[in-house]
Amino acid sequence: MKSAAPPNFDTAAFRLALGEFATGVTIITTRAESGQLIGITASSFNSVSLAPPLVLWSLAKRASSMTVFEANTHYVVNVLAASQLALCRRFATLKGDRFAGVAHAAGDTGMPILDGALAWFECHNRSRYDEGDHVIFVGEVERCGVTGDAREPLVFHRGGFHTVDPLG
């Protein structure tokens, strides 16, 4: 197989182009062996397969939570509503206990499902792929749910947060 040609752009140009792809925003949650709850904001979530039900997301190799996510058998992908912007920012930036005062319930595997998430996917940590400066996690969905209300999703686009409006 032939190798890829070297890029003809710099990191800033790549980030700018990636920013044109609007994505939903999630918080990925798990529990460390010590019992400590761990959660990170991620916009790298995507579906992979309906049969079996698979989803993926990625995490920077330098992330302090990497060892926990690599070692755990389960995690939850929580899809955020626009009204959860403060929660999104909290899990993206806060050092210390991100779960302090955050309402959640344990799923069937004991992993935290955030109250108010538009949807959630309780996943078995099926496989991981070490690629570039990130690790891609593929989860096999064991359980999922939706709130069923009409709240707007939280969307990340061009470096900022938005909601969506129907076109038709």
Q: State residue 24's pLDDT score.
A: 96
Q: Provide the sign of the torsion angle of the four alpha carbons 102, 103, 108, 110, taken in this order.
A: positive
CA 77 to chain centroid: 6
Least confident piece of the model among 5-14, 76-85, 128-137:
5-14
Q: Provide the sign of the torsion angle of the four alpha carbons 85, 26, 35, 142, taken in this order.
A: positive
Q: State residue 165's pLDDT score.
A: 81
- Local structure of 66: helix, strand or coil: helix
- Is the pLDDT reported for residue 95 higher than 90? no
pTM (2 d.p.): 0.94
The confidence band for 1, taking pLDDT boundaries of 50, 70 and 90, is confident
Q: Which domains, from first to last, does the chain contain?
A: 23-153 (2.30.110.10)
The confidence band for 148, taking pLDDT boundaries of 50, 70 and 90, is confident
Q: State residue 150's pLDDT score.
A: 80
